[in-house]
Amino acid sequence: MEIWDIAALEIEPHQPQVLHSDEGAARVIAINLPAGEELQDHEVHEHAWLHVHEGSVELDGDGTTRRVSSGALVHWRPGERHAVRAIADTRLILLLAPWPGPGHPNQRAAAG
């Protein structure tokens, strides 16, 4: 068993912490996103779940914009484009699964 106290983690802005990475299963990342900053428009090869542990964010995707705050859990399908902007200082947990997803550069390198 592994346990993380998300509120107590010392996560510096612009330095996400990989909390767990298990090839073939999932990768879990803690992110400190200061107010006004963003994870720019992007997509990933995996299912992406974003938990807003503390703070609030604005989400752009599929032509819509939504605001969510502490306690929200968001899911994007593989390849679904999205952006995340912090409205307030925000602590996030990002879960990617399966890790790495089909077509991920790490997967191609391992196959070659």
User: From residue 58, how far is each of 22, 61, 75, 104 by CA, in Å?
Assistant: 29, 10, 14, 26
pLDDT at 56: 98
CATH of domain 14-111: 2.60.120.10
3-state class (DSSP) for residue 100: coil
Structural domain boundaries in the chain: 14-111
Q: How many CB atoms lie within 10 A of CB 109?
A: 9
Instruction: State the chain's maximal CA–CA distance in angstroms.
Output: 43
Confidence of residue 108 (pLDDT cuts 50, 70, 90): low
pLDDT at 105: 73
- pLDDT digit string (tens) for 16-64? 999 999 988 999 999 999 999 999 888 889 999 999 999 999 999 888 9
Q: List beta partners, residue 51.
A: 73, 93
3-state class (DSSP) for residue 7: helix
Report percent pLDDT > 90 for the chain.
76
pLDDT at 39: 93
